[in-house]
Structure 1
Amino acid sequence: MAKQFPALDDAHRKFIEDQHLFFTGSAGPEGRVNISPKGMESLRVMGPNRILWMNLTGSGNETAGHLLENNRMTLMWCSFTTRPLILRAYGTARTVQADDKDWTEFAALFPPHRSARQIFDVAIDLVQTSCGYAVPLMDYRAERDTMQKWVDGKSDEDIRAYWSDRNQTTIDGKPTGVPV
């Protein structure tokens, strides 16, 4: 049975910290809904109603585009180990770009990553847990090194060129606001 909470409590925070993977969900007022898996130590719980998530370069940039039109965001974690549990944090988010005043302070909370595109500052207004009984049991082996190898093979200019070529619009053709 699903349970709802106005904020993250200590048990929720511990559960989030124990997960290697989380999912993000966003949507503009029309067009496609985006759901993306995320990892690589890119999330920080800042308090009971606040999460920061560093968005690294990827093949798309849907969340940034959606937030320009509609600031709703959902984050979700699933337990793939012993205790079945799904936790969702619902709220709104704002995009922090590298030239914004908060960037330096927020970026210092994460391991340095040359391909960081944005940091999303998520204000949580509802937390929901549910059973997760149908989520399979899976073992964590390791983080992939694919992203780091890609970054290591690129200059900062190459990464910005990739953003310019592949991250300027959503799949629905809406702007993402990513600086180049």
Structure 2
Amino acid sequence: MAKYYDEIPESLIEWVRKQHMFWVASAPLGPGGHVNVSPKGTADCFHVVNSHRVWYQDLSGSGVETISHIRENGRITILFHSFEGPPRILRLYGIGTVYEYGTQEYESLIPPETRKPGSRAAIAIDVYQCQTSCGYAVPIYDFVTHRTQLLRSFDLKESHDRATTSTEIHPKGLKAYWILKNLSSVDGLPALQTAPDSKVPCPSTFDKEGPRPKLHRLSSRDADILSTTGAALAVGFAIGALVATALPRILSATGYFSIRA
């Protein structure tokens, strides 16, 4: 059963800090506009200031819908749900504010040592209502690790920017990507406004030598075992079917059934 709160309860704040991902939902005012839902999963991007205010580090991507929608109407909803442990869904309803890369507000929230590669804004949300619901339909998953492909990709783009002077925009750099992809939403609403022109250098704190998560795949040995086992089961099934079909005829031909009768 859903419950509503005027602020985020302390017990839920601790739960939020343990979650590995969250979802962001926003929409334009126009009835023909695209409603956006985005998954966010990079470690240490979401932060709780207090029971009425949260913020997260917004990383670059080919879309920029959340920033556009907040600039137009401010509405935003954050969704958390349990993948492990007791079921739970949590929604934070709020009014968002965008602090772009290079602004004083951004720098106060995201100092160089905590900035992620590709970080383009800090999205702050003033929460006016909090809702919990059962979450009984959410599957149970085991968390393995966070992916690093996005961070590696944008760290490479930022390395191009670092190799140029402050007045140049490298065609393969992050700022060139912002100009190409992040100036407006799919509906044509304005998005990034100052970040592409910022003269603040992108710091390099990403560990390029760190581990690269891999999907779990069967080793060649395990695959051979499964293949051999499957073949053996198939042969056994075929032999069993053949015996089941032929045995009555053999017994009948030898007179076994008539003797027993």
Asked whether the two chains share a fold, i.e. TM above 0.5, the reply is: yes
Contact 1:8 1:48 in 2 (8 A): yes
Match for residue 38 of structure 1 among 32, 37, 40: 40
- Partner of 1:131 in structure 2? 134
- Partner of 2:183 in structure 1? 168
TM-score between both structures, scaled by the size of structure 2 = 0.66
Q: Report whether the alignment pairs 1:115 with 2:118.
A: yes
- Partner of 1:98 in structure 2? 101
**Residue 50 (structure 1) shift:** 0.3
Distance in structure 2 (CA, Å) of the matches to 1:4 and 1:28: 25
- Partner of 2:24 in structure 1? 24
* Residue identity opposite 2:23 in structure 1: F
CA distances 1:98-150 after superposition (whole Å, capped 9, x unpaired): 23321211113982223111111100000000000000001111010101220
- The structure in which a higher percent of residues are strand is 1
Query: Structure 1 residues 34-43 or 101-110, which shifts more?
Result: 101-110
Higher Cα Rg: structure 1 or 2? 2
* Residue identity opposite 2:97 in structure 1: R
CA distances 1:76-99 after superposition (whole Å, capped 9, x unpaired): 101011200000000101111123
Distance in structure 2 (CA, Å) of the matches to 1:130 and 1:54: 26
Q: Number of residue pairs matched?
A: 180
Distance in structure 2 (CA, Å) of the matches to 1:140 and 1:131: 21
Aligned Cα RMSD in Å? 1.5
- Could you tell me which runs of 5 or more consecutive residues in structure 2 were left unpaired when the two chains were aligned: 162-169, 197-261
Distance in structure 2 (CA, Å) of the matches to 1:71 and 1:12: 24
Q: 3-state DSSP class of the match of 2:183?
A: coil
Query: Structure 1 residues 8-17 or 153-162, which shifts more?
Result: 153-162
> How has the CA–CA distance of structure 1 residues 104 and 168 changed in structure 2, closer, same or farther, with 3 Å as cutoff?
same
* Residue identity opposite 2:100 in structure 1: Q
Q: Report whether the alignment pairs 1:89 with 2:92.
A: yes
CA distances 1:143-175 after superposition (whole Å, capped 9, x unpaired): 101012202322234011111111111111221
* Residue identity opposite 1:3 in structure 2: K
Identity among equivalent positions (%) equals 32
Structure having greater relative contact order (Cα 8 Å, sep ≥ 6): 1
Q: 3-state DSSP class of the match of 2:104?
A: coil
List 4+ stretches of structure 1 deviating above 3 A: none
Distance in structure 1 (CA, Å) of the matches to 2:66 and 2:34: 11
TM-score between both structures, scaled by the size of structure 1 = 0.95
> How has the CA–CA distance of structure 1 residues 104 and 118 changed in structure 2, closer, same or farther, with 3 Å as cutoff?
same
Contact 1:23 1:35 in 2 (8 A): yes
- Could you tell me which runs of 5 or more consecutive residues in structure 1 were left unpaired when the two chains were aligned: none
> How has the CA–CA distance of structure 1 residues 32 and 140 changed in structure 2, closer, same or farther, with 3 Å as cutoff?
same
Q: Report whether the alignment pairs 1:153 with 2:168.
A: no
